[in-house]
Amino acid sequence: MLYQKRNVSEFNYEGRAHYNNNFGEFSLNTFAGFNIRDNKTSVLDGTTVGGLIIPGLYNLDNGVENSLASNADSHASVKSLFASASLGFKDMFFVEATGRNDWYSMLNDSGFYPSVTGSFVFSNAVKADWLSFGKIRAGWSSIAQGGTPYVRGTFIDIRSPFNGSPQYSNPNVAGERDLSPELKITKEIGIEARFFKNRVGLDVTYYDTKSKDFIIAVPVDPASGYLFKSINAGEMTNKGIEAMVTVVPIKTDNFSWDIAWNFARNRNKLINLYGNLQNLVLTNAPFRAQLVAQVGESYGSIMGTDYVYDAQGNKVVDENGFYKASEIKSLGSILPKYNMGFRNTLRYKTLSLSFLIDIQEGGKYFSTTNMWGMYSGMLEESALGGNREAGVILAGVKEDGTPNDILLDAPTWGGTYYNTVDAQNVFDASYIKLRDITLGYDLPKSLIGQVFQGVRISAFARNLFAWNLSNKGIDPENTSYGSGNIQGLEGGSLPSTRTYGVNVNFKF
């Protein structure tokens, strides 16, 4: 039995002082302030040893042997001063500058991070019936972030006692006292416009971001007593475009139709890591496949073995009839070529219908489900159409160039998915999804009386259908567990589920 108690807290203390005024055709908006963010985490674990004396009685005192306990605590704080000033002229030209200084408890360095933006509301200069609003904007900013608590230090690793004797060891990662914050510098330019009494809208942004001084653990000589050391290293660029277009093709007193289209495309490149280091392993999948950051490539390359091809492009098999495996190489990046979505909203009097279609093109993921499912015969494809005894002859040629004629029985064929070519388990992450449908109805005033300003009943369904899947049994979105580095490796995820529900909203 395992018992865990976890306490997590975050406190923010913030104060601001504002000053706003107009000076003729000029407007000034300013503020200055401070922020103190304090994070604490405390974890207490207890586990029984040797099983339970009385089955079903889950208590740490019910273990066959003395129970074991462990605890861990972390504390991090960031103290900040910040200020902003925005100067406007004739409600047409605006310039804004900001500055922020952060002091990190987990680092021994502080930093000042400024930004400046400018905008021109050209709709106030170009008076035309077809132009409802128009603005051009540009900006430059520098922001930073600290590391995890205690990243500078090197602390003894306390392990569970063995036969009553305590165990201590060096950690795998050595700290570095002279760590600086990670830094990101962003340049962007954009335009926002609405036309024909807001019936058509456009918002487009191009950005160019450079990130550097990542706090990462790089390999070191094990003779030092450690496997890795935390340092500031690396430089990465992201360049891309984000766009949104809104259209209202129909609008009457009783009926309207709104369409919103959004598009995002990012091009990423890892410029350098540290010294001659060309790749950094982020995590490992079972057996050979790895997720790495590789210099000169997009972040998050899946590394593993590929097929071996002859001069004519045929896959080559070995003397056993198995596909030959290449050397370790990149099998693709986890990053997609682009994402887009279409939102349609139709309203008729007090009834509305809205649905969202999401599209992703490109990107790769490694599937542990496919690897073990084929190996164990659990997946439908492994059944060979219900005739496993027929066996399989893999499409390809022998090393002498003759067509492959070696018959593999179903278990042998399935076993090749985990010990030969990793590319067999790498799939395209593209998809088209009906993300959600929502049907809403506002109850008439005559029915709800004067108690509420309004009552709206909505029925919704989410994650309804998916098309264009490279592997029909796996949702590409289930290959990412959060927004951190560990993405693109599907680790036996549960199938995606549809969600249905009803909302009742009361407005007072």
Output the tens digit of pLDDT for each of the chain's 508 residues.
888 899 999 999 999 999 999 998 999 999 999 999 999 999 998 988 888 888 888 888 888 888 888 888 889 999 999 999 999 999 899 999 999 999 988 887 788 899 999 999 999 988 888 999 999 999 999 998 888 888 888 888 887 777 777 788 888 888 888 888 889 999 999 999 999 999 999 999 999 999 999 888 888 888 888 888 998 889 999 999 999 999 999 999 999 999 999 999 999 999 998 888 888 888 887 778 889 998 988 888 999 999 999 999 999 999 999 999 999 999 999 999 999 999 999 999 989 999 999 999 999 999 988 999 999 988 888 888 777 778 899 999 999 999 999 999 988 999 899 888 999 999 999 999 999 999 999 888 777 777 778 889 999 999 999 999 998 878 888 776 555 567 888 877 777 889 999 999 888 7
Q: Which helix (H) or strand (E) element contains residue 368?
A: helix 368-376
pTM of the model: 0.83
- In sequence order, what are the beta bridge partners of 339? 264, 360
| Cα 292 → chain centroid | 16
**DSSP state, residue 255:** E
Question: Residue 445: which domain range?
Answer: 278-508
- Helix 410-419 crosses helix 368-376 at what angle (to 10 degrees)? 150
Are the CB atoms for 168 and 156 separated by under 8 Å?
yes
* Cα-based distances in Å from 465 to 297, 462, 501: 33, 9, 16
Closest-CA residue to 98 (of 36, 182, 30): 30
Phi-psi region of 492 (alpha: psi -120 to 50; beta: other; left: phi over 0): left
Residue 349 phi, psi (nearest 5): 55, -115
- Selection from 188, 186, 184, 84 nearest residue 144 by Cα: 184
From the list 423, 425, 415, the residue with the least C-alpha distance to 471 is 425
The two structure tokens encoding residue 96 = 């804004």
Cα separation of 207 and 127, whole Å? Answer: 30
- Note whether residue 218 is domain-resident: no
**Would residue 350 count as lying in a domain?**
yes
If one counts the domains in the chain, the total is 1
Domain presence at residue 255: no
State the pLDDT at residue 506: 86
* Res 75: pLDDT: 92
- The reply to whether 114 falls in a domain is no
Question: Within a domain: residue 69?
Answer: no
Query: Among candidates 335, 315, 339, which has minimal Cα distance to 326?
Result: 315
User: Do 114 and 142 touch, CB atoms closer than 8 A?
Assistant: yes
pLDDT at 492: 74
* 313: alpha, beta or left? (left if phi > 0; alpha if psi -120 to 50): left
User: What Rg do the C-alpha atoms of the chain give, in angstroms?
Assistant: 29
Give the pLDDT of residue 467: 93
Q: How far apart are CA 266 and CA 276, in angstroms?
A: 27
Is there a contact between 254 and 348 (Cβ–Cβ < 8 Å)?
A: yes
Dihedral sign of CA atoms 444, 445, 446, 452 in order: positive
Calculate the alpha carbon distances from 168 to 130, 152, 160, 374 in Å.
74, 20, 9, 42
Whether 39 is covered by a domain: the verdict is no
Residue 388 lies in a domain: yes
Q: Is residue 2 part of a domain?
A: no
pLDDT of residue 49: 86
